[in-house]
Amino acid sequence: NTGVMCVGSDLLRQLLPKIGKNNAQEEYYLTDLISLVRVEGKAVVTSAPASWLEIEGINTRAQLAALERAHQKRIAESLMAEGVSFADPARFDCRGSLSTGTDVFIDINSVFEGDVQLGSGAFIGPNCHIANASIGEGVVVKANTVIEGTRDAPVMLANDVQVGPFARLREGTRLAAGVRIGNFVETKKSQLGAGSKANHLAYLGDADIGAGVNIGAGTITCNYDGVNKHRTEIEDGAFIGSNSSLVAPLSIGKDATVGAGSTIAKTVPPESLSVARGAQRNIQGWKRPQKKSPEGK
């Protein structure tokens, strides 16, 4: 049984020594205070909880899980009243503070932690984990995306950003309006200007990227030298070819182009092409190694 009492401390000190154990179990019952208070001529006022869930006992893991589901149902119902649609409100978890605009859609198995804001018209796909993030209006977060900001360095997405599927946005990521982050792209302590895109297979750490920049598949900002982290700056309109390694500290100028497969470790001037890779060789008549047959066969 669950019960809650509110008693003045002076009266409690006076009456506690008077509680006896004259009962079948020979135990002390705090509820005996009620009769003792009446004997003292004091008023006893009862109050019923708004819901039985407020006083439900928990003695097993199954009971704890059931009560957690009831709590999550309450949160989901409150959000739906504010204009949120769920694919299935029974498959949703809010483990912090979630505030939303109108016409937000949340698909199944999405988990929200810390302080999260979702702008009007935001779409959250299935199996997403979002922590400490501000997500603007019309943002699309596709399936299996992880957004893991911190209280000191939240992730911030401006309006009409698209992220995922299978993307990871870490602490300090800031994406301006219309940015596209695609599958298997990871960002950390980086900002991307309006309309920039990294659609496939990239790591952008400690980077300041301007507007209208294209990041090719396989691009990596090499930000760690084994001791310290260094930043990469990519100015507006730059084009980074696929499979490029950008060795920080590094600056790439406005409208510059980095050729695919390059390892860039020096400043790239604006409106220039930078290529740093070995020359291609074609060997005519080359034979691939063949497996040797076992002896006797």
Q: Tens digit of pLDDT for each residue in 177-226?
A: 999 999 999 999 999 999 999 999 999 999 999 999 999 999 999 999 99
The closest of 276, 190, 272, 201 to 238, measured between CA atoms, is 272
- Over residues 37-49, the mean pLDDT reads 88
Return the pLDDT at 297: 60
Asked if residue 174 belongs to a domain, the reply is yes
Asked if residue 68 belongs to a domain, the reply is no
The helix or strand, by DSSP H or E, that contains position 215, with its residue range, turns out to be strand 214-215
The closest of 195, 210, 202, 294 to 252, measured between CA atoms, is 210
Between 22 and 166, the higher pLDDT residue: 166
Asked if residue 43 belongs to a domain, the reply is no
Q: Tens digit of pLDDT for each residue in 119-129?
A: 999 999 999 99
pLDDT category at 262 given cuts 50, 70, 90 is very high
Asked if residue 289 belongs to a domain, the reply is no
pLDDT category at 74 given cuts 50, 70, 90 is very high
- Over residues 145-166, the mean pLDDT reads 98
Pair 254, 270: CB distance under 8 Å = yes
Tell me if residue 107 falls in helix, strand or coil. coil
Asked if residue 288 belongs to a domain, the reply is no
> CA-to-CA distance for 108 and 249, rounded, in angstroms?
41
- Over residues 101-107, the mean pLDDT reads 97
Average pLDDT, the chain: 94
pLDDT category at 25 given cuts 50, 70, 90 is confident
Q: How many domains does one find in the chain?
A: 1
Pair 118, 142: CB distance under 8 Å = no
What pTM, to 2 d.p., does this model score? 0.84
Asked if residue 234 belongs to a domain, the reply is yes
Residue span of the structural domain in which 209 resides: 85-274
> CA-to-CA distance for 272 and 267, rounded, in angstroms?
11
Instruction: Give the active site residues.
Output: 200
Asked if residue 59 belongs to a domain, the reply is no
**CATH assignment of the domain containing 136:** 2.160.10.10
Tell me if residue 78 falls in helix, strand or coil. helix
Asked if residue 218 belongs to a domain, the reply is yes
